[in-house]
């Protein structure tokens, strides 16, 4: 077990001995915010003392009398009002490095017990090309799924495709009347978007076309064979192009259950809500009201429209019911933009009333917008929405130009592979680095820079570490591990914090914590490498430093993999 966890376990035992009625689940040990005070710190005794009207420093002294961490720590210090500061012995630090080197851990522990977590992300609309707005949900959701899996949880990813609704009535009119087979074969989504725009405009001007679209929709919803066949073809063509983008991004889903999958359940859900007295009629529509909830008072959740149609809340309630029945999750995470906050507040409140005993955590992980240099939503120069495939093409091409300039001796095939990894990594990292709830300005120059907090910088840091081993001569394994230089110790202690950062990123759904940790790790390595010769050092320093290099590379690679970013042996 890792030193921090061992210290935490011993501290909880000591607290139970002194305060038998204490809930020690909240007695936590975490990395010390300021290294000058120690390596780990616990503030838990302050809350325990306050709740029991005890002197916190006296409680700390009583706990310390029962606390035995001599194998791993220097004498524990009581600081301030009752903080406990722990400083690791170098022997404990070295043993943790040795354990990581032999594969016992990589500075993190698997969750015990593991939980079942459903991650709902990406969710494009059929018959529309994925655009830049889909990138945040797709990349953030994929990263969270990777993170939860790494921590040992059972993760189920579901792409809740928008494949049902009034737009298909208009699409069916256009499809039957004037689709271009050649255009459809060349770019199916572009052709479907053309058809939708044309018929939608006609519907606004021509009541006859609007009525025709309504009739086609009624036939589709009624199970008409021809309309169902055409609709399935539209969805299949859409998914084929979506899947091409997902393959480029390295994103996979366990399930892609669109809105249409839940359609048969919607009427029954509304009837159930009415029967339980949870929904009522209002102006011909059916809604769930929240008169007792100040934040939602006056903002009812519509579950059936006055024309008899259903909406997102109804579909999402059906989706929740299906997930609970099928996968029995402990947690469901929805990754969408911040504009949907009200919808999810209404959805969660409706669901809690409908199924109050359901033991599931519901989380809306929302994010801000991507802005252009002008501070407005990111668009093309002509003002159109930026298509995601075009954005990825440009990322790879810009990266290829950088690679060609830096390494002209590489073959074209090598340049393109490096450009693919660097370009896509740059886009992903630039999206994950900011606080997810903030807007950020899209900048090619910043994201592709080889210095600063960027993916190319971290990818290059990894290749630089790996290059050391291409130069190293094979030698007999040396069991000696001696940490002496301050830069060695600082790097080793930063490696030890990898697990804490992973857990914090998962608990708060914030991969940016991991981005910043990896950037700091690369900085620690640079200072270590510039100060401490590796290959020219004498033993046991040489073996110690090679071990630090190897572990740094492994953590960099694992951390970037959680972010969905590939690494290269050469750049």
Question: Quick one: 155 and 183 in the same domain?
Answer: no
Residue 151 and residue 298 in one domain: yes
Name the domain count of the chain. 4
For residues 186 and 278, membership in a common domain is answered with no
Q: Tell me the average pLDDT across 505-526.
A: 98
CATH of the domain at 130: 3.40.50.620
Same domain, 145 and 184: no
Q: Is residue 372 part of a domain?
A: no
Q: Tell me: do 463 and 557 sit in the same domain.
A: yes
Kindly report the length of the chain: 571
Q: pLDDT value at position 35? A: 86
Q: Which residue has better confidence, 571 or 73?
A: 73
Residue-wise pLDDT for 126-185, tens only, equals: 999 999 889 999 999 999 999 999 999 999 999 999 999 889 999 999 999 999 999 999
DSSP letters for 207-236: HHHHHHHHHHHHHHHTT-HHHHHHHHHHHH
325 and 468, same structural domain? no
Domain around 42: 3-88
- Statement to judge: residues 150 and 129 lie in one domain: yes
DSSP state of 518: H
Answer for the pair 100, 355: CB distance below 8 angstroms, yes or no: no
pLDDT greater than 60 at residue 477: no
**Measuring CA to CA, how many Å separate 412 from each of 71, 123, 402, 424?**
56, 36, 13, 18
Shared domain check, 312 and 223? no
Tens of pLDDT, residues 27-37? 999 999 888 88
Q: What pLDDT, on a 0 to 100 scale, did the predictor assign at position 400? A: 93
Above 90 in pLDDT, residue 502?
Answer: yes
pLDDT given for residue 33 in this prediction:
86
Residue 377 is assigned to a structural domain of this protein: no
Work out the widest C-alpha separation in the chain, in whole angstroms.
87
Q: Report pLDDT digits (tens) over 363-375.
A: 999 999 999 988 8
Residue 476 pLDDT grade (very low, low, confident, very high; cuts 50, 70, 90): low
- Kindly report, residue by residue over 521-537, the tens digit of the pLDDT: 999 999 999 999 999 98
Query: In this predicted model, what pLDDT tens digit does every residue of 295-318 receive, in sequence order?
Result: 999 999 999 999 888 999 999 999
Can you give the pLDDT at residue 565?
98
pLDDT digits (tens, 9 = 90+) for 49-98: 899 999 999 999 999 999 999 999 999 999 988 899 999 999 999 999 99
Q: Residue 556 domain-assigned? A: yes
pLDDT attached to residue 474: 60
State whether 59 and 194 are in the same domain. no
Which pTM value belongs to this model?
0.94
Q: Is residue 521 part of a domain?
A: yes
Q: Where is the domain boundary, 307, 337, 364?
A: 364
State whether the Cα torsion 377-380-385-386 is positive or negative: negative
Query: What pLDDT is attached to residue 479?
Result: 54
Alpha-carbon span 353 to 556, nearest angstrom: 45
CA 511 – CA 517 distance, rounded (Å): 10
Let me know if residue 28 belongs to a domain.
Answer: yes
Burial of 411 (0-12, 13-18, 19+ CB in 10 A): exposed
- Give percent of the chain with pLDDT exceeding 90: 85
The answer to the question of residue 41 being in a domain is yes
Tens digit of each residue's pLDDT (9 = 90 or more) over 180-213: 999 999 999 999 999 999 999 999 999 999 999 9
The pLDDT assigned to 381 comes to: 73
Q: Which of 364, 399, 434 is the last residue of a domain?
A: 364
Residue 494 sits in a domain whose CATH number is: 1.10.730.10
Q: What does the pLDDT read at residue 478?
A: 54
CA 247 → CA 133, 223, 253, 481, distances in Å?
A: 18, 33, 11, 43
Q: Which of 249, 276, 305 is where one domain is finished?
A: 249
Split at pLDDT 50, 70, 90, the class of 475 is low
Give the span between the Cα atoms of 262 and 153, in whole angstroms.
27
The pairing of strands 285-288 and 280-282 is antiparallel
Which pLDDT value is given to residue 2? 86
Does residue 479 or residue 94 have the better pLDDT? Answer: 94
Residue 571 maps to a domain: no
Shared domain for 236 and 285, answered yes or no, is: no
pLDDT of residue 384 exceeding 90, the answer is no
Say how far apart CA 550 and CA 561 lie, in whole Å.
Answer: 16
User: Does any domain span residue 436?
Assistant: no
Confidence grade of residue 380 (pLDDT, cut at 50, 70, 90): confident
Distances (CA, A) of 341 to 283, 345, 353: 25, 6, 19
Q: What is the CATH number of the domain that holds 48?
A: 3.30.1360.70
* Centroid of chain to Cα 137: 8
SS3 state of residue 334 = strand
């Amino acid at each position: 077990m890792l030193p921090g966890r061992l210290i935490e376990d011993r501290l909880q035992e000591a607290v139970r001995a002194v305060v038998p009625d204490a809930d020690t689940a909240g007695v936590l040990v975490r990395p010390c915010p300021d290294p000058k005070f120690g390596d780990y710190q616990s503030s838990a005794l302050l809350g325990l003392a306050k709740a029991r009207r005890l002197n916190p420093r006296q409680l700390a002294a009583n706990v310390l009398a029962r606390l035995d961490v001599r194998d791993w720590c220097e004498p524990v210090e009581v600081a301030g009002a009752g903080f406990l500061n722990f400083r690791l012995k170098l022997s404990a630090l070295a043993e943790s490095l040795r354990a990581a080197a032999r594969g016992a851990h990589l500075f993190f522990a698997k969750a015990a017990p593991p939980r079942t977590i459903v991650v709902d992300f990406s969710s494009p609309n059929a018959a529309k090309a994925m655009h830049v707005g889909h990138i945040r949900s797709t990349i953030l959701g994929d990263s969270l799924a990777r993170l939860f899996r790494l921590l040992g949880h059972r993760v189920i990813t579901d792409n809740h495709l928008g494949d049902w609704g009034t737009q298909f009535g208009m699409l069916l009119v256009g499809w039957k009347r004037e689709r271009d087979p050649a255009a459809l074969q060349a770019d199916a989504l572009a052709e479907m978007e053309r058809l939708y725009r044309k018929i939608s405009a006609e519907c606004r001007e021509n009541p006859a076309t609007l009525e025709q679209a309504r009739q086609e929709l009624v036939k589709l919803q009624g199970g008409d064979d021809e309309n169902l066949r055409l609709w399935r073809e539209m969805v299949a063509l859409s998914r084929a192009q979506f899947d091409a983008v997902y393959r480029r991004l390295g994103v996979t889903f366990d399930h892609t259950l669109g809105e249409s999958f839940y359609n048969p359940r919607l009427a029954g859900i509304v009837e159930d809500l009415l029967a339980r007295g949870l929904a009522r009629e209002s102006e011909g529509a059916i809604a769930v009201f929240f008169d007792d909830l100040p934040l939602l008072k006056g903002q009812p959740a519509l579950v059936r429209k006055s024309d008899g149609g259903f909406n997102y809340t109804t579909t999402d309630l059906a989706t929740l019911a299906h997930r609970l029945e099928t996968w029995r999750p402990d947690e469901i995470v929805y990754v969408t933009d911040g504009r949907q906050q009200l919808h999810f507040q209404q959805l969660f409140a409706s669901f809690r009333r409908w199924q109050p005993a359901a033991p599931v955590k519901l989380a809306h992980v929302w994010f801000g917008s991507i802005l252009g240099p002008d501070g407005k939503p990111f668009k093309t120069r002509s003002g159109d929405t930026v298509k995601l495939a075009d954005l990825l093409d440009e990322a790879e091409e810009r990266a290829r130009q950088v690679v060609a300039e830096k390494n002209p001796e590489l073959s074209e095939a090598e340049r393109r592979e490096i450009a693919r990894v660097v370009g896509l990594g740059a886009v992903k990292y630039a999206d994950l680095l900011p606080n997810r709830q903030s807007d950020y300005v899209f900048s090619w120059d910043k994201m592709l820079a080889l210095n600063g907090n960027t993916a190319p910088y971290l990818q290059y840091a990894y290749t630089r570490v790996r290059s050391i081993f291409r130069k190293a001569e094979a030698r007999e394994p040396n069991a000696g591990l001696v940490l002496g230089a301050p830069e060695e110790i600082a790097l080793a202690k930063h490696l030890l914090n990898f697990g804490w950062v992973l857990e914090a990123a998962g608990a708060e759904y914030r991969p940016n914590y991991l981005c910043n940790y990896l950037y700091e790790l690369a900085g620690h390595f640079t200072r270590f490498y510039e100060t401490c010769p590796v290959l020219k050092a004498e033993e046991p320093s040489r073996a110690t430093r090679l071990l630090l290099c190897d572990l740094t590379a492994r953590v960099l690679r694992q951390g970037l993999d959680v972010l969905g970013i590939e690494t290269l042996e050469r750049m």
